[in-house]
Every structure is written in structure tokens, then in C-alpha cells.
Amino acid sequence: MVASLRNGKRVIKFLYTCPRLSRDRKVASTVHPQNAHGEYGLYSNCAKKEDMVALTKRISDYSLKGEVDHARKVFDQLGHRDSVSWNVMVKSYVENGRIRDARELFDEMPEKSSFSWSSMIMAYAKERKTHIALKLFIVMPCKDVVSWTAIITALSRDSRIDDAWGLFREMPEPNSISWSTIISGFQQNGFAYESLNVFREMLLAGVLPTSHSFTSALAASADLALLSVSEQVYSQLLKRGFESNILVGNSSISMFIKSGSFDNAGRVFVDLPWHDSVTWNSLIMGYGLYGFGIEAIMFFHQMQKEQFIPDSISFLGVLHGCTHCGFIEEGKKYFQSMETNYRISPGPEHYASMVDLFARAGLLKEAFDFVTQMPFEPTPVFWRTLLNGCRILGNSELGSYVADHILKLEPYNSSTWLMVIQINASAGRWKEVMEMRRQMKEREVRKELGCSWVEIKGSTHIFTSRDETHPEFDHILPTLELLSYNMVQFISY
């Protein structure tokens, strides 16, 4: 009896592990001749399920290769299609950019799951067709947290952050991913303060933050460039054990660098258990942009010692460092090595950095040759960089030539007009100055209002030229006059 049971188990195991044999009626009747008709139905059903799983996986494989038409042929061969196979085929169309085909198949689906609806909502979100995504969401019968998060993502990407926030407020039970989405939405749309306020609200609600919510909050802090705020956000991630997360760590480094705290950025770098290329690029770019050329070059070489190959961002950071420190020969060497040693084609940003390097060093001819010999059409950024060099050196002849190029491309750019006026004024060409001011007035070219700000006890105070709107203006003005008097007295001694 025991032996016969063991033999039966072996036969069943054999049939389940050999799908081809279990699908063959002859083999089934040979193994179980007494049950050839009765038990074959069971094996046939199993075979059909195994076929459907295998074919659905083949659809997914074709999709990953970009062979959507082959995937559709396999889909059409399925005799019985379950919700998984439908969703996989719809997703195949979506991931390969064939939204119209995806919608046609979506409309044919006998039963649409939440995944089906959310896939189409996100598909239209990627196409920037938010109005269609919103219509789908409205008619969706059973909305869940996935669909709510999908439409909030769609609205945020379309810069409709107010609508996204309104829907988020109506969401029945937002989870940590939903909170991360709206925090990221505010930050990416330029609302850093609002992003941090929502992040704080999430913590007060007792929702556990994710790495995504932390990276968004860190990016918002970096946008504000306020060290006190940056330290508060970083203390929150320390409390929750995210200091070893590489994504959070990289964002923390960028945040502290933009807040001017290179010491804190260095500590985060040292405390990370491992580094990736983003970590090194954050340091190289940060030090390079803020004028620490030697440190940028040092990290650039240290990166390679750690077996990381520099990419275009690495070179851009080191070129910025060379520009700010006046390392002309080093900058030329790094620029040339991009193609010769690393097979990296320099982009417009690399050429712009080289033009800036030459212009700052007073090598206007080299900068001009660089602009005119580039493998692509120079944009106004290149000409403005060259014009700034002409302004610094007082080269009115080349400055006028460059200004003509810029004003043809950007006739209402106030910074260009003002730089040309300054060049002519330095050369004593007052007639040209008056003429340019007259043209600015006729074209209604207005100078963008500049501002400065200072952070005191966590509050940011913003000032513009001749600003008398600050509530403490009556106290600020006498203090400035007193400081000016003390400075004059100090200089006189």
C-alpha cells in the first residue's frame, strides 16, 4: 500500500515537471491507461494554465526587446485570456510609446482591474495628455491608492500642482508613496517651501518617510540654500536610519554643498558605506561650481583611483573648477582628453565652460574662435559668455559685434542691453549709450529686478533695490547708516 502511494506520487510529480508529456494524450493513457479519459482533463487544464503563463511571459519578453508586434501575435494566439495577459499586453503598448493601440486594447478588455486603469492614466501622463488621464480617473469605478497616486503624479508633471494638491486632500487614505509623490511634485514645480511643509505634515501624521520623500525634501532644502533648514531635514533622516542609503546620501551631499557647508558634505561622503558615480559627481560638480578648482580636480582623480570611469558630468565639474581658478592649460587638457581618452563627445555645456574659461582669462580671440568653430550652432548663452568677457576687459569693438548676434536672437534680453551699455560707457561712447537706452525704452525692455536675502533665526528676509516695504525698515535704515559711518571712520584711520 505504502509502495503504491509512493509510486503514485512519483507519477504525478513526473507529469507536473514534464509539461510536454502531460499535454500528450498518448503518454497520459500509457501512464494511466485505466484513467486515460477521466484524469486527462485535469492534466489538460494544468497544461492550459502552464501554456498561458509561458505565453504571457513571452509577451513580456518581446515587449522588453521592443518587438510589440510579435508580442501582439502571441497575445492573439491565447485561447483564454485572463486579466494578467490583458494587462501585460496593454503595458507592452504603453512602455513602447504606442498609446493609441494601448487605449484600443484597454477599451476591449472584458474586465478592467485597478492596474489597467492606472496603466492608462500613467500612459497619458507621460504623453502630457493630463485632461484625458483626468477623465479616465473620474469615470474609474473603484479608485484605489494606486490610481489616486497615478493621477496626482500626472497633474504634478503637467505643472498643475494646485489641482494635484486638491486631489491629494480628497484622497481617502494616502500611503507613504502618495505623500512622496506630492512632496516631489511641489519641489519639481519650484515650490520648495511648500514641499518642506508637506514633508513636515507627513511626519506629524505619523507616516513613515521613504527614500523618495527624503530625496525630495533634501532637494527642496538645496533649492532654498538655507543651512539651518538643511540641517533639520538631515537630522530627520538620521533619526530614521537613512544615512546609509546611497540615494539619500547623494542628495544630502548636493544639499549641503548648495547650502555652503562643505564640511557637512564631506562628513556625509565619509560616512556613506559605499560610493557610486553620482556621489563622486556631486562632489566634483559642487566644488567646481563654487570655485574650489583644486578640490574638484583632486576628487576627479580620486574617483578614477577608486575604479570609477568619469562621465560627461564629471568633466563638466572639473572644467567649472578650472574656469573659476583660471587653470587654462589644465582645462584644455581635460577637454581634449574627453574624446581622445574616454570617447566622450563634448556637449554644449562643455563648450560653454571652455568659452567661459578663455573669456575670464582675457583670451577673447581664443574664446571667439571656440564659439565660431563649434560643431553646432552657438546659442545666446555662448555669445553672452563672450560678451561678459568683453565687458570685463573693455573690448568695445568685439563686444558690439557679439551684441549684434545676441540681440538678433534675443531682442528683449535686458542683461545683453545693459552689458553693451556698460561697455560703451567704459569707452566713453556716450552717444551710443543714449541711443541704446532710447531703443530699450521703445522696445519696453525692462531690467529684471535683482534681490538679496539673509536668513536670521530660520526666517528669510528678502530685499530689493530701494525697498521700503520691510516691516522693520525704520530700524534697518538707521543701523545701515551707523554701519556706514563706522566703516568710513575705520578707513580714515
% of the chain residues with pLDDT over 70: 84
- What pLDDT digit, counting tens, does each position of 127-149 carry? 888 889 889 898 888 888 888 99
Q: Find the range with the poorest average confidence among 1-10, 221-230, 269-278, 403-412.
A: 1-10
- What pLDDT digit, counting tens, does each position of 318-331 carry? 999 999 999 999 99
Q: Residue 41 has which C-alpha cell?
A: 482533463
Report pLDDT for 36. Answer: 37
Going by C-alpha positions, the residue among 321, 349, 315 that lies closest to residue 335 is 315
The answer to whether 177 touches 149, Cβ cutoff 8 Å, is: yes
In whole angstroms, what is the distance from residue 119 CA to residue 423 CA? 57
The answer to whether 209 touches 176, Cβ cutoff 8 Å, is: yes
Instruction: Evaluate if residue 9 carries a pLDDT over 50.
Output: no
Q: Between the ranges 247-256, 373-382, 453-462, where is the mean pLDDT highest?
A: 247-256
The answer to whether 387 touches 419, Cβ cutoff 8 Å, is: yes
% of the chain residues with pLDDT over 90: 41
Going by C-alpha positions, the residue among 121, 192, 193, 194 that lies closest to residue 158 is 121
- What pLDDT digit, counting tens, does each position of 70-129 carry? 888 888 888 778 888 888 898 888 888 888 988 998 898 888 888 888 889 888 888 888
Instruction: Evaluate if residue 5 carries a pLDDT over 70.
Output: no
DSSP string, 327-354: -HHHHHHHHHHHHHHH-----HHHHHHH
Strand, helix or coil for residue 454: strand
Helices and strands (DSSP H and E) totals, the chain: 28, 2
Report pLDDT for 35. Answer: 40
| Banded model confidence at residue 296, pLDDT cuts 50, 70, 90 | very high
Residue with cell 543651512: 227
Report pLDDT for 366. Answer: 92
Report pLDDT for 358. Answer: 93
Report pLDDT for 418. Answer: 76
Report pLDDT for 319. Answer: 96
Instruction: Evaluate if residue 464 carries a pLDDT over 50.
Output: yes
Going by C-alpha positions, the residue among 329, 380, 330, 327 that lies closest to residue 352 is 380
**Interval 200-225 mean pLDDT:** 95
Report pLDDT for 181. Answer: 95
Going by C-alpha positions, the residue among 467, 403, 465, 466 that lies closest to residue 440 is 403
Report pLDDT for 396. Answer: 78
Q: What is the b/e burial string over 271-296, where b = at least 16 CB atoms within 10 angstroms of the residue's CB?
A: ebeebeeebbbbbbbbbbbbebbebb
Backbone dihedral region for residue 326 (phi beyond 0: left; psi -120 to 50: alpha; all else: beta):
left
Return all residues near 263 (Cβ < 8 A) that are at least 6 apart.
Answer: none
Report pLDDT for 4. Answer: 41
The answer to whether 103 touches 120, Cβ cutoff 8 Å, is: yes
Q: Find residue 456's DSSP bridge partners.
A: 459
Return all residues near 73 (Cβ < 8 A) that are at least 6 apart.
Answer: none
pTM of the model: 0.74
In whole angstroms, what is the distance from residue 436 CA to residue 313 CA? 39
Return all residues near 82 (Cβ < 8 A) that are at least 6 apart.
Answer: 52
Q: Between the ranges 4-8, 54-58, 70-74, 407-411, where is the mean pLDDT highest?
A: 70-74
DSSP string, 102-162: HHHHHHH-SS--HHHHHHHHHHHHHTT-HHHHHHHHHH-SS--HHHHHHHHHHHHHTT-HH
* pLDDT, mean over the chain: 82
- Better-scored residue on pLDDT, 484 or 322: 322
Q: Find the range with the poorest average confidence among 54-63, 203-212, 220-229, 247-256.
A: 54-63
Return all residues near 74 (Cβ < 8 A) that are at least 6 apart.
Answer: 55, 58, 59, 62
Up-side HSE of residue 2: CA atoms within 13 Å toward CB?
A: 0
Task: Report the length, in residues, of the chain.
Answer: 493
- Angle, helices 192-204 vs 211-224, to 10°: value is 140
In whole angstroms, what is the distance from residue 278 CA to residue 281 CA? 5
In whole angstroms, what is the distance from residue 454 CA to residue 451 CA? 11
Instruction: Evaluate if residue 287 carries a pLDDT over 70.
Output: yes
Report pLDDT for 49. Answer: 55
DSSP string, 294-334: HHHHHHHHHHHHTTPPP-HHHHHHHHHHHHHHT-HHHHHHH
Instruction: Evaluate if residue 33 carries a pLDDT over 50.
Output: no
The answer to whether 168 touches 145, Cβ cutoff 8 Å, is: no
Q: Find the range with the poorest average confidence among 190-199, 394-403, 448-457.
A: 448-457
- Better-scored residue on pLDDT, 255 or 392: 255
**Interval 463-482 mean pLDDT:** 74
The answer to whether 364 touches 389, Cβ cutoff 8 Å, is: yes
Strand, helix or coil for residue 273: coil
**Interval 372-389 mean pLDDT:** 86
Q: Residue 262 has which C-alpha cell?
A: 562643505
| Banded model confidence at residue 492, pLDDT cuts 50, 70, 90 | low
| Banded model confidence at residue 185, pLDDT cuts 50, 70, 90 | very high
The answer to whether 352 touches 381, Cβ cutoff 8 Å, is: yes
**Interval 444-470 mean pLDDT:** 65
| Banded model confidence at residue 381, pLDDT cuts 50, 70, 90 | confident
Going by C-alpha positions, the residue among 302, 99, 187, 120 that lies closest to residue 317 is 302
- Better-scored residue on pLDDT, 90 or 396: 90
Instruction: Evaluate if residue 47 carries a pLDDT over 50.
Output: no
Q: Find the range with the poorest average confidence among 97-101, 251-255, 424-428, 431-435.
A: 424-428
**Interval 178-199 mean pLDDT:** 95
Q: Find the range with the poorest average confidence among 28-32, 48-52, 302-306, 336-340.
A: 28-32
Q: Residue 427 has which C-alpha cell?
A: 569707452
Report pLDDT for 453. Answer: 65
Return all residues near 124 (Cβ < 8 A) that are at least 6 apart.
Answer: 99, 130, 132, 133, 136, 154
Instruction: Evaluate if residue 480 carries a pLDDT over 50.
Output: yes
